[in-house]
Amino acid sequence: MLSSAVCSFMLMKLGVNSGFSATNCVLASPAVLRRQEFLIRCLQGYSNQGDQKKLQEVKAMGEPNLEAAAENILRAITPTLDPSKHKGQAGKIAVIGGCREYTGAPYFAAITALKIGADLSHVFCTKDAAPVIKSYSPEIIVHPILEESYSVRDEDKKSISDKVLAEVDKWMERFDCLVVGPGLGRDPFLLDCVSEIMKHARQSNVPIVVDGDGLFLVTNCLDLVSGYPLAVLTPNVNEYKRLVQKVLRSEVNDDDAIGQLLSLAQQIGGVTILRKGKCDLITDGETASMVLLDAVGGRVIYFLEGKRFVAVFTSWARQLVSSSDRNTSISPRNPTMLGCIAASTLLRKAASHAFNVKKRSTLTTDIIEYLGRSLDDISPVS
């Protein structure tokens, strides 16, 4: 539970502090205000007149607001449907993950990319995981090239590692973003191979979204992402705790949640961090943003974590920022920040739609089915 100081700090950052980005302003609309009040009640409640005064200041503010600004970002970076474009121009995503025990996570990561609008989605997994992932959907391109220690003799490790890297390298220049970690597992040989893949992705200037066991790998080898501005870390509560302990050599401080997150991103060299929670906190070490979860949808939001959207939206945002013929006046300009904000926004909306229909029985697959509708609500095809 966060203290009243955090509640005050969050409100200040959401609206009172004029130095914060437009993404964090709040609209005086009933829906947004209800979410604001719900957030405070869930965290601690109104503990003093100062909190109530800040809430009144937030209510007195007009547009632009957090929700509208975030949706504007999502709308701006979502490419239009253009018949003159060829297959692949709307995004080519690769997932590095999937082993004997875990086949669902890489599938969900790959299929959500397609459901949002990416053209191609690849999964690089172990040979044991490949037939299972292939059976889930014929839409996904599956590469059964990764190996685990149990199937590799010590004398063969170097040659197999080189073979794995060579196979991924053949595809690397085609990818707009890598997602590293879903269902990866913690096998030492497998993690060594993935480390080399990440190094080559950096050399090719390919954005990397790291989650799950990918974060376990990065926490123990920070050099894989340190100083790489196209890296995005998406930790949950426990993963974030381990990162803070390793990098800052301290415990998580919820009384200064945003300040600590900024410091963490700076210490890792300017990577973007999306700290998942009741409200998603996002920073690249220079600017910060907050995306509040819907009071209802937030109950099921964790079934489908934002990493699965971040890859697609980051690739789209990168195209937008680097394009000379599109409006790039949106703020912030960092494509990884834009990707995280858009991903959190769409996830919140899809989870809310799914929960309104499925209630307690909501599953990841249910939320996936509402992705298209949710995106069209914000950025209509017409």
Indicate whether 118 belongs to any domain. yes
Which pLDDT does position 293 carry in this prediction?
A: 53
| Cis status, amide bond into 235, omega within 30 of 0 | no
Query: Is the pLDDT score of 338 beyond 90?
Result: yes
pLDDT tens digits for range 272-328: 999 987 788 999 999 888 776 554 444 444 444 555 689 999 999 999 888 754 555
Query: Is the pLDDT score of 9 beyond 50?
Result: no
Indicate whether 94 belongs to any domain. yes
Which pLDDT does position 135 carry in this prediction?
A: 97
Which pLDDT does position 217 carry in this prediction?
A: 98
Annotation: binding site? 183, 236-242, 276-280
Which pLDDT does position 64 carry in this prediction?
A: 45
Query: Is the pLDDT score of 206 beyond 90?
Result: yes
Contact between 209 and 314 under an 8 Å Cβ cutoff? The reply is yes
Average pLDDT over residues 204-211: 96
pLDDT tens digits for range 57-115: 434 443 346 678 889 999 999 998 888 888 888 899 999 999 999 999 999 999 999 99
Instruction: Name, of 45-49, 292-296, 337-341, the range with top average pLDDT.
Output: 337-341
Which pLDDT does position 279 carry in this prediction?
A: 80
Mean pLDDT value across the chain: 82
Indicate whether 166 belongs to any domain. yes
pLDDT tens digits for range 122-154: 999 999 999 999 999 999 999 999 999 999 999
Indicate whether 73 belongs to any domain. no
Average pLDDT over residues 253-281: 92
Which pLDDT does position 166 carry in this prediction?
A: 97
Indicate whether 108 belongs to any domain. yes
Question: Which amino acid is residue 160, in one-letter code?
Answer: I
Annotation: binding site for (6S)-NADPHX? 183, 236-242
Indicate whether 127 belongs to any domain. yes
Q: Give the pTM.
A: 0.82
CA 69 from centre of chain: 18
Average pLDDT over residues 180-196: 97
Task: Report how many domains make up the chain.
Answer: 1
Indicate whether 34 belongs to any domain. no
* DSSP states along 142-189: EEEEE--GGG--GGGHHHHHHHHHHHHHHHHTT-SEEEE-TT----HH
Residues in the chain: 382
DSSP reduced 3-state for 324 = coil
Cα(277)–Cα(236) distance, integer angstroms: 7
Residue 198 is part of which domain span?
86-378
In the chain, beta strands by DSSP E: 92-96, 120-126, 141-146, 177-180, 208-210, 231-233, 272-275, 279-283, 288-292
Annotation: binding site for ATP? 276-280
CATH number of the domain residue 172 falls in: 3.40.1190.20
Which residues are CB-neighbours of 273 under 8 A, at least 6 positions away?
232, 233, 234, 235, 261, 264, 265, 282, 283, 284
Task: Measure Cα distances from 265 to 210, 228, 307 in Å.
Answer: 14, 11, 17
Which pLDDT does position 115 carry in this prediction?
A: 95
Average pLDDT over residues 230-238: 95
Which pLDDT does position 324 carry in this prediction?
A: 52
